[in-house]
Structure 1
C-alpha cells in the first residue's frame, strides 16, 4: 500500500505547486511600479493645479517731506530793533534875575504839564519896579538936557551968522556946539537903554514855559532865593519825543533817512508788549541818524520822531502814552524789493542753500539772499517760480536721496491692496 501511494506523486503535482509562487512574485513586481506611477500622476496634477502667488510691488524706500511752492513778488522789507525813548526838547530852567520866589504854579511839580507861555514861577519884583522908576527919571533928565542943549545950539547958530567971518570947519563945529549936542544925545540914548534893561529885568521876574512842556524835575520852591544861573526846574517838550534805535550799519541803506528838512523818512511802528494792551501800537518817522556809532556795540543810532507821545490830542487819547527812558520794540519800514521770494528763515540752511524736491529727489541748491529780517529771508536769485521748497526736517540730507509727499502714501497703499 505504501508503495502505491508513493508511486502516485508525478509531474502534475509539481506544476500545481509552482503557479501560486509565480503569481506572488508578479504582484511583488507590479505593486511598487503601480505606486510610483500613481504618485507621479498625483504630483503632476498637484503641480498643475497649485495656486499662483500674486506679485506685490516693492515698497518705496523714500523719506516723507512737506513742501511749499516758490512764489516771486514785491516785498516790503522791515528792520526790527529796540529803541530808547529820549526827549526831543529838554531845557534846564534858570532865572535871568535874582530874588526870592513869591509864587509857584500849583502844577509846578514833576509830571505837571504847561502850555507855551504859562506862568511857572514869579520872583519878587519890588526891586526891579523901583529900578524902572529910577531909570525912567534918568531918561527924563537926559531928555531935558538934550532939549536945553538944542536951544543953546540955536543961539550959537544965530551968533555965528551975525559974526560973518570965515572960520575953519573945526572952529565952526565948536562955535555951533556940535560936540555938546552929540554928548547930550548919547546920554539920552544911554538913559533909554538903561530904562529898557530895567523893564526887561522886571519882565524876567515872571518865568514862563518856553514851549509846551512837562516838568521833569524841580529844584526850587516857594520862598527859595535864586540867583541868575541857578537851576529851578528841568522841562521836557511834549510835542514830540525821540527814540534812539540801534540798527546794524549795513541796514542803513534799506532805510529812508531825510537829508534835508521837510523830506519824509521811513515809517516806524512802535510796540511795548510788556506794558501796553495787546495790539496797541504807536507810529513815528525816521528823522535822522547820529554822526557816531555806539561805543559798545558799534551799531548805528537811528533817530525816530514820535509826535504827541503823551497822547494829549483828541485823536491820540485812546492810544498808549510813551514815557521817557522806556525801551520800545521798533519795526522800521524799509525799501521795497521789486521781485523776490520770501522764505521762512528756518528753511535757509548752511551756506545759503535751500532744500528742493526735484523729480522726487533732494536737491541742495545755493541761492542769492537779497535781504534778511528776523523771521524771513528774501531770495532774489537761484529759485524758479513754483519750485518745491522742503519745509520739513531731514535728519541726514544727502544730495539725490529719494523723497515722497504725503499723497504718495495713499497711492502706494492702493497698489499694494490690488
Structure 2
C-alpha cells in the first residue's frame, strides 16, 4: 500500500508573506497619491487696496544770496626780484641781513663789490675831462684874439680901399703919378690878403673847437658811465620792495662778473593764490557780468575796455571778471582767512592736462589774518601770522549771478541729479543742474524746479512717474 505525501506548510506561509509585503506598500502609495490629489482648494481671500506711501517734503526756496565757488589753490609769490652783479669785481662786504630767510626793507645795503678799480677809472676820466675843458678854453681865447685881429684887419682894408680910390681920382686929374697909384693898390692888396688869412685861421679854429667839444663830451660820458659803475658796486634792496630773501648765492671774497645772480628777494607786500576753475564754474563769473551774446555783452566789454586808468586797453574778452574771494587755510581745527580778489587769468585758454582754466587770486594784505573755529565763531590767532608761499589753501570766490537759483535740501538730490517733486498728490521726477552744495543744502538752477515746489526727502525703494503719494511737510 502506498503512503500519500503531505505538503510543506511552513514554505507556503513564507511564500505568501513574500508576495504580500510589496503589494501592501504599493497599495499604500496609491492611496496616499489619491488623497493628496483630491486636496480641497483654498478659497481666495480678497486683498485690500494698496495704500499710497507717506512721504516727507520740503519747500524749495529762491536763492538770492551770493553764490560761492570753492576751489583748492596754492600760494605763490606776487613778485620775485633777482638782483645780479652789474660790474665785475670781488665781493668786499656782505650784510648780515643778506641771508636766505631774512626780511629786508627797501634801500637796505646788501652787498658791496671792491670799488677801487672803478674809483681809479673815475679819477682818470675826471683828469681827461679837465684837460679837454682846458684845451677848449685855450682855443676859445685864440678864437677871440683872431676875431679881434680880423676886426682890425677889416678896418685897415677899408682905409686902404678909400685911399686907393683917392689916388685913382688924383691920377685921372694928373696930380698923382703912376708910382703913387701902384703903391696905393699894393697896400690895398696887402690889407685884403691879411683879412683873408685871418678869416681862414678863424675857420680852422672853429673846426678845432668842434672837435674839442666832442672830445670833452665823450670824456664826460665816460666819466658818467664810470661813476654809474662805481655806484653799482653797492647792491641795495630795490626802493619799491620790502620782502624776504629766498636765495643768497655769493659770499664775501667771491669774484663775480657782470650778470652773475647774487640775491633773490620775494616781495611780501602782496601774494597770489594759483588755482584752477572748471569751465562750468567760470560760467557763473561770466553770468554775473552779463558776458553773453547780446547788448549786455557789448556794454560790459566797452566798460572794461575803458577802465584801464591810462594803461593800454585790454579787450574785455581776455579779462576774467573780477570777484571778491576768501582764502582759507585750515590748521589745528581752526580756519585762518584772508580777503582777496580774483584778478586775472594765468595765461590764455584751458590747461591741456586738466581741462581747467588757470587763474590768480591776489591778496593785498597777506598779514591781515582772521581766525575762526569750524562753527564760525571767532578763534585765537595763534597760527600763521601771514599767508606765505607753498600753503595749500581753499579759495571761495563770491559771485552774484543773474540766473535764477533755487535752494533745496541736499537729501532731496537723488543719484543722477534727479529730484522728486509732489504736484497734485503725484510724484514728478525732474533732472536738475546742481551748482553748489553748502552744508545740508544744494543750490540748483531754476527751470524744471521752481521756488515753492515741494521736494521729497524721504527715501523710497521704488518710485515711478505720476505715482500717488501722501505728503507730509517738514519745516
The TM-score by the shorter chain falls in which range? 0.7 to 0.9
Query: Is 1:238–1:308's contact at 8 Å kept on the other side of the alignment?
Result: no
Shift of 1:219: 0.8
Whole-Å Cα distance in 1 between the matches of residues 214 and 332 of structure 2? Answer: 66
Which residue pairs with 2:249 in the alignment? 219
Whole-Å Cα distance in 1 between the matches of residues 69 and 228 of structure 2? Answer: 52
Shift of 1:338: 6.1
Shift of 1:124: 1.6
380-389 or 177-186: bigger deviation: 380-389
Whole-Å Cα distance in 1 between the matches of residues 403 and 424 of structure 2? Answer: 30
Query: Is 2:136–2:209's contact at 8 Å kept on the other side of the alignment?
Result: yes
| Residue deviations 1:250-306 (CA, integer Å, cap 9, x gap) | 433432797654698211111122x36513211111111122432311211111111
Q: Which of the residues 59, 62, 85 maps onto 2:75? A: 85
Q: Which of the residues 296, 302, 317 maps onto 2:359? A: 302
Q: Which of the residues 300, 325, 335 maps onto 1:279? A: 335
Asked if 1:199 is matched to 2:224, the reply is no
1:303-382 superposed matches below 5 A:
303-310=360-367, 320-337=385-402, 339-344=404-409, 347-349=412-414, 353-366=418-431, 369=433, 372-375=435-438, 376-382=442-448
Shift of 1:173: 8.5
Q: 1:159 to 1:278 in 2, by over 3 A?
A: same
RMSD of the TM alignment (CA)?
Answer: 3.2
| Residue deviations 1:146-175 (CA, integer Å, cap 9, x gap) | 11111111122223334435999xx76853
Q: 1:153 to 1:346 in 2, by over 3 A?
A: farther
Whole-Å Cα distance in 1 between the matches of residues 113 and 362 of structure 2? Answer: 36
Whole-Å Cα distance in 1 between the matches of residues 473 and 146 of structure 2? Answer: 122
Asked if 1:65 is matched to 2:55, the reply is yes
Query: Is 1:80–1:374's contact at 8 Å kept on the other side of the alignment?
Result: no
TM-score by length of 1: 0.73
| Residue deviations 1:74-126 (CA, integer Å, cap 9, x gap) | 13222221222221211222110122212222121111111111111111222
Question: Structure 2 unaligned runs (5+)?
Answer: 1-47, 155-191, 290-303, 310-318, 370-380
Which residue pairs with 1:189 in the alignment? 217
Q: 1:407 to 1:185 in 2, by over 3 A?
A: closer
Residue-pair matches, total: 343
**Secondary structure of 1:237 counterpart:** strand
Whole-Å Cα distance in 2 between the matches of residues 384 and 194 of structure 1? Answer: 79
Q: 1:73 to 1:310 in 2, by over 3 A?
A: closer
Query: Is 2:63–2:443's contact at 8 Å kept on the other side of the alignment?
Result: no
Q: 1:267 to 1:160 in 2, by over 3 A?
A: same
Q: 1:276 to 1:216 in 2, by over 3 A?
A: farther
**Secondary structure of 1:280 counterpart:** strand
**Secondary structure of 1:255 counterpart:** helix
97-106 or 62-71: bigger deviation: 62-71
134-143 or 244-253: bigger deviation: 244-253
Shift of 1:350: 6.0
Query: Is 2:85–2:259's contact at 8 Å kept on the other side of the alignment?
Result: yes
Query: Is 1:61–1:402's contact at 8 Å kept on the other side of the alignment?
Result: no
Whole-Å Cα distance in 2 between the matches of residues 95 and 310 of structure 1? Answer: 32
Query: Is 1:294–1:301's contact at 8 Å kept on the other side of the alignment?
Result: yes
Q: 1:317 to 1:114 in 2, by over 3 A?
A: farther
Q: 1:122 to 1:162 in 2, by over 3 A?
A: same
